[in-house]
Structure 1
Amino acid sequence: MVRFGKGIATVVAACVFLAACATSNVDQATLTPAEKRLRQQADTFNQTVVEGAVAGCAVGLLVGLLASGGGKKGQGAAIGCAAGAAMGGATGYYVADKQEKYANEEARLDSMTDDVRKDNQRLADMIATSRQVIAEDSKTLDSLNQKIASGQITKDKARQELARIDENTQYMQKTLAKLKEKHTEYVQAREQTNGSAQREQAMDGEISKLEKQISQLEGDINGLVQRRQVARIG
């Protein structure tokens, strides 16, 4: 039992570590309103669906063990959670979490579809904000190019301004990577879940919408990267 308890502690610690890795070290006081809003919105995507399910599983196991005093109930919860990995890789945790919460495939598919739909809504808001930030950064790049050309600004000062743009770009790129992981996990979860044709079409539609929005964000980011690459100072 002690050995099993240590295993739970390890899982919980891993989940805490994942959350900590997503934290930005940027001084919030120096950010523009759009930059602050972008980071707040992007933070909602710092966990993939699998990471969220694993974290929930770990917490659920810990609660179950404490409530049952380490008895059969806690062991049963452990077996159920561990079975998630056997259901199709890491995404199995997400599917197993839905199976524990919902009694039938239709309800599970509805819940998954709702998860994708909410992510689509959040992503649409984030894309609108990211475009504001990209517009601000593009304007800054144009201004820096003009000032560098006319000798109105030193290279050191220009590099400071460019560092801020690079920080914004890196933040968006990291969020983009998480979104791509989420999309893959949703696709895998969909493959492991069946329902009525109408419900399957609804989830497929939301997944397709998510893919399109991710492509839009990637295109916007690449546009800024290209403008940054042709700046007069490296």
Structure 2
Amino acid sequence: MLIARRTGKSIVVVSLSLALLQAGCVSNPTMSGGNASSMPLTPAEQRMRQQSSGLDAKTSIQGCAAGAVAGALLGMLSDGKRSNNMMIGAAAGCAVGLAANAYVQSKRQQYQNDEQRIAAMTADVRAENARISSLIATTEEVIAADSKRLAQVNAAYRNKAISSEQARRDLAGVKANRDQMQSTVNALKDKQSDWVEISNLERQTGTNTAQLDQEIGVLKKRISGLEQEVALMDKQINASPVAG
């Protein structure tokens, strides 16, 4: 009877673990995007997609969340009731942000000293900012090329050098890049929200988060800059006579 009861609890906890892992996977959707155009991607377009995917794969927060859940599951298998309670607590925490909570708990285990922990978190955000800076540089290169391509398509269409069907086909690659950029912005905003939540969790315990908040501010500015670039590209696309 005892074995059956513990087995039942194990099944529940395993189910919770799988649900938590799935929640972690979808909290930062992939930023790889797609390409609706039949034209091959340029080197800059390929690099932009690779860098976007790299940002998603390398996030410190998301990897920590998956690791924390896996670790809690292993603990349950070896420690019974106490670890069951830990998993139930993790499930409850999922509602308020699994990734952020798991990241904070992991860092607190790794660094007992508040200053060292905040310094480590700040370094993680700084690394994220460096990757975003590289992505923004590539994105600006793609936008410059797309603006030129868009101007050429519009001119050719107005001069009746190409049909509206051909113009729309030529415009498809520009739209695909715009969609890719918007997907990236949306995913980065989710990352920013996670970092803000992490700072809030630390501040609630009386920890000085000024250093961390400063780096999060840099992250916010870079995301905002990228968002403005995408908005400009969107405006240019909508102004095209064949944008419909």
**TM-score, normalization: structure 2?**
0.79
Deviation, 1:177, is: 1.3
Runs of 4+ in structure 1 deviating by more than 6 angstroms, as ranges, are none
Is the CA contact (8 Å cut-off) linking 1:113 and 1:202 kept in structure 2?
yes
What do residues 152-185 of structure 1 show as CA deviations (whole Å, max 9, x unaligned)?
Answer: 1121121112121111111111111121222222
State the distance in 2 between where 1:18 and 1:205 align. Answer: 24
State the distance in 1 between where 2:70 and 2:197 align. Answer: 24
Give 1:64's aligned residue. 75
State the distance in 1 between where 2:29 and 2:230 align. Answer: 25
Is the CA contact (8 Å cut-off) linking 1:65 and 1:73 kept in structure 2?
yes
Give 1:162's aligned residue. 171
Percent sequence identity over aligned pairs:
33
Deviation, 1:225, is: 1.0
Amino acid at match of 1:219: Q
Greater displacement, 218-227 / 103-112: 103-112
- How many residue pairs were aligned? 228
State the distance in 2 between where 1:74 and 1:156 align. Answer: 62
Give 1:37's aligned residue. 47
**Alignment partner of 1:117 out of 113, 120, 126:** 126
Is the CA contact (8 Å cut-off) linking 1:83 and 1:96 kept in structure 2?
no
State the distance in 2 between where 1:119 and 1:21 align. Answer: 16
Is the CA contact (8 Å cut-off) linking 2:35 and 2:173 kept in structure 1?
no
What do residues 131-163 of structure 1 show as CA deviations (whole Å, max 9, x unaligned)?
Answer: 001011101101001110111112112111212
Amino acid at match of 1:140: R
Give 2:66's aligned residue. 55
- Return closer, same or farther for 1:98/1:85 CA change in 2, 3 Å cut-off: farther
Amino acid at match of 1:35: E
**Alignment partner of 1:226 out of 235, 240, 244:** 235
Amino acid at match of 1:160: R
Amino acid at match of 2:158: A
Deviation, 1:37, is: 0.7
**TM-score, normalization: structure 1?**
0.82
Give 1:211's aligned residue. 220
Unpaired runs of at least 5, structure 1:
none
SS in 1 for 2:162: coil
Give 2:158's aligned residue. 149
State the distance in 2 between where 1:227 and 1:2 align. Answer: 54
What do residues 47-74 of structure 1 show as CA deviations (whole Å, max 9, x unaligned)?
Answer: 77664443222222234345x2x53574
The two structures, once aligned, show a CA RMSD in angstroms of 3.0
